[in-house]
Amino acid sequence: MSATETFNGASLKMVHDELIATIEQSAIRLEQFSTDRSNGDLLQGCIDGIKQIRGILSLIQLKGIDLLAQELVEHITEITLGDDAGIDKKLEILTSAFFMLPRYLEFCAQTSRSMALLLIPYINELRQARRAPSLPESYYFAFEPRKVNRSASVQAVAPQEDISILVRRLRHMYQAGLLKVLQGRQIKASFAIMCRALERLESICGATPVGNLWWMANATLSAISEENLRITKSRKMLFSSIDREIKRLQFEGRAVFNREPDAPLVKELLYLLALSKSSTEKSLAVATAFGVRPLGYSDTELGREMEFLKGPSANTINSMVAVLSDELHSTKNILESAAQNGAEILADAPELVETLKKVAEILAIVGLVSPSNSLKQEIEKIQRWKETGKIVSAEEFLGVADTLLYVESTIAGLGKTNMSDDKLAKINALTRDDAMANNQIAEAEKLVIDEAELGLGMVKRALSAFAESNYDKTHIINITATLDGVRGSMFVLSLPRAAKVLAGCMKFIDEALIANEQQAAVQHMLETFADAIISVEYYLDNLKIDKNADTDILRIAEESLEALGYKVV
């Protein structure tokens, strides 16, 4: 099971700009209303904007964010005009949710995946503000726990004292550990006490339904402790829910032995067990008994993605990349001049070292430690040149230039990825040769795509001229050669499906338009063929954003060619 839900990336791209514009406009109205609480037009405009956002999101069926938008509507309609002190908190929550809308859309666009569970904390913040029950962490966990009949060998141990007294003592043991966990103190030891209490409760209740609950809860809490899962607010509430179940056993005694535990509680415990990825005998036994399948993500990965949502947006990163690139460009010009005219020129450029220091500091702050350290070494070298006034060899200048090229390549790569820890770790792990090679390959691939798009543009213009000239074939005589060049580009980029589509396009031009005499339905054929070309063009546009873009969009081209009698194999 994976955290990733499928969604229509093409649909998101089509409405993305309109959606972001509506979100920004509504956010501005909300900000204006926060300073003018009596302006009903601003409030209504914001409400209408959020309803429009919700409508668009429901159309593209992006799970999670549609529910967040619905909660926004519920929340904002409860805001009243006037200076009510209670409105401040509601406006603060709304502002936070507005920030998350575009960030999550950006996350989906950047990663080509959707993880609805990342939005649960923000949805719950809105729900709690209007006193609605919170969604459990397992809300999007598509799993129905099955009933478990444990082995008859699991027998209850008859207690030597009154059961209510024993359970009360065990509950006190559990609560002692729970209190420390809620306070964030002595986590490991506290979980051990809680698990001991659950183990003893299981021995009292045996293989009864409530005994199965203690068995399962013991395995889950042990896994949380062993695998160091985050102790979040929702998980603390879960631990408290277990305490309430123990309380029920304390006061109702054997009457609850055969009562099935609440399904949401069971589902939440099993979700956390799966999330822990624990491989202990206890964890595997519970997972097998309840039919829990492995998750496609870990708690660490989940926490990392949540931190990414809180981090800088793509626009911020791209702005930073642009600034750093400009700074490096100016320093390269100074160093190039120094290489040609002598190192003494560096004395006339006091800003050089300060600029490089600033770049190195920014790289360190965003987590790019390796290129930052490399740049700092070169800064020390340049400072020595300035201080000693020694003659610097061409090889020494080339060494600095090589480092600047490495830093520049790393910065360019930063603009193509998100700022999560694993992505930064991969960038830091790259050797300088790999970093420069990756950037050069990416630039080369972009040039190939640009050339392919130019070729398709020429094809479309030629077809338009062909139609407008009453089908004069001189306008399309070179189309096949142009398409063949585009097809070659697809082979260079290792895109065989697109290459096959273009081969079908070439065959249609040669056989249906050039070799044959004018056909009665030629205009209809051209319209259908244009659909194929536009499909390829759209695919290339997606490739610029993601080199692993979904090839499904090419199905439109394949179906168009098949309608023309040229099936793509």
Q: Which segment of 106-115, 152-161, 294-303, 416-425 scores lowest on mean pLDDT? A: 416-425
8 A C-beta contact, residue 191 and residue 222: yes
Q: Which segment of 52-61, 237-246, 391-400 scores lowest on mean pLDDT? A: 391-400
> 5: helix, coil or strand?
strand
Domain membership flag for residue 373: yes
Q: Does residue 117 carry a pLDDT above 50?
A: yes
Domain membership flag for residue 296: yes
**Mean pLDDT, to the nearest integer, of 397-426?**
64
Q: Does residue 289 carry a pLDDT above 70?
A: yes
Q: Does residue 134 carry a pLDDT above 80?
A: yes
Co-location of 221 and 270 in the same domain:
yes
**Mean pLDDT, to the nearest integer, of 269-281?**
94
Q: Which segment of 199-203, 319-323, 329-333, 352-356 scores lowest on mean pLDDT? A: 319-323
Which pLDDT score, from 0 to 100, does residue 316 have? 57
Co-location of 255 and 343 in the same domain:
no
What residue numbers bound the domain in which 299 lies? 163-305
Which pLDDT score, from 0 to 100, does residue 345 have? 57
Greater pLDDT, 338 or 200: 200
**248 CB-near residues (< 8 Å, 6+ apart):** 256
Q: Which segment of 147-156, 518-527, 559-568 scores lowest on mean pLDDT? A: 147-156
Q: Does residue 427 carry a pLDDT above 60?
A: no
347: left (phi over 0), alpha (psi -120 to 50) or beta: alpha
Greater pLDDT, 429 or 278: 278
Q: Does residue 220 carry a pLDDT above 70?
A: yes
**Mean pLDDT, to the nearest integer, of 229-251?**
94
Q: Give the count of domains, the chain.
A: 4
Which pLDDT score, from 0 to 100, does residue 435 have? 44
Domain membership flag for residue 119: yes
Per the prediction, the chain carries an average pLDDT of 81
Co-location of 185 and 295 in the same domain:
yes
Q: Does residue 465 carry a pLDDT above 70?
A: yes
8 A C-beta contact, residue 256 and residue 167: no
Which pLDDT score, from 0 to 100, does residue 419 have? 47
CATH number of the domain encompassing residue 23? 1.20.120.160
Greater pLDDT, 329 or 37: 37
pLDDT in tens, 493-552: 888 888 999 999 999 898 888 887 766 678 878 888 888 888 888 788 777 766 666 677
**Residue 5's beta-bridge partner residues?**
114
Domain membership flag for residue 146: no
Which pLDDT score, from 0 to 100, does residue 2 have? 45
pLDDT in tens, 55-64: 888 777 778 8
Co-location of 173 and 285 in the same domain:
yes
How far apart CA 194 and CA 243 sit, in angstroms, is 10
Domain membership flag for residue 169: yes
Helix 40-60 with 9-35: angle, nearest 10 deg? 170
Q: Does residue 429 carry a pLDDT above 60?
A: no
Domain membership flag for residue 122: yes
Q: Does residue 148 carry a pLDDT above 70?
A: yes
Q: Which of 275, 305, 335 is the last residue of a domain?
A: 305
Percentage of the chain with pLDDT > 70? 83
How far apart CA 443 and CA 154 sit, in angstroms, is 65
Q: Which of 106, 129, 152 is the last residue of a domain?
A: 129
Co-location of 13 and 123 in the same domain:
yes
How far apart CA 242 and CA 247 sit, in angstroms, is 9
Q: Does residue 466 carry a pLDDT above 70?
A: yes
Co-location of 65 and 124 in the same domain:
yes
pLDDT in tens, 172-195: 999 989 998 998 888 888 999 999
Which pLDDT score, from 0 to 100, does residue 452 have? 87
Helix spans in 184-296 (H): 187-205, 209-226, 233-252, 263-276, 281-290
Co-location of 16 and 78 in the same domain:
yes
**Mean pLDDT, to the nearest integer, of 146-164?**
67
Domain membership flag for residue 369: yes
**Mean pLDDT, to the nearest integer, of 117-146?**
88
**66 CB-near residues (< 8 Å, 6+ apart):** 54, 57, 58
Whose structure tokens read 């080369």?
Answer: 444
Q: Which segment of 199-213, 332-346, 530-544 scores lowest on mean pLDDT? A: 332-346
Q: Which two tokens stand for residue 487?
A: 């097809």
Co-location of 487 and 362 in the same domain:
no
Which pLDDT score, from 0 to 100, does residue 33 have? 87
Co-location of 98 and 59 in the same domain:
yes
Q: Does residue 265 carry a pLDDT above 90?
A: yes
Query: Does pTM surpass 0.75?
Result: no
Domain membership flag for residue 140: no
Q: Which of 305, 323, 350 is the last residue of a domain?
A: 305
Greater pLDDT, 220 or 554: 220
Max distance between CA atoms of the chain, in angstroms, equals 102
Co-location of 245 and 301 in the same domain:
yes
8 A C-beta contact, residue 53 and residue 100: no
Co-location of 423 and 450 in the same domain:
no
**Mean pLDDT, to the nearest integer, of 444-451?**
78
Whose structure tokens read 């399962």?
Answer: 216
Which pLDDT score, from 0 to 100, does residue 440 have? 52
CATH number of the domain encompassing residue 327? 1.20.120
Co-location of 44 and 120 in the same domain:
yes
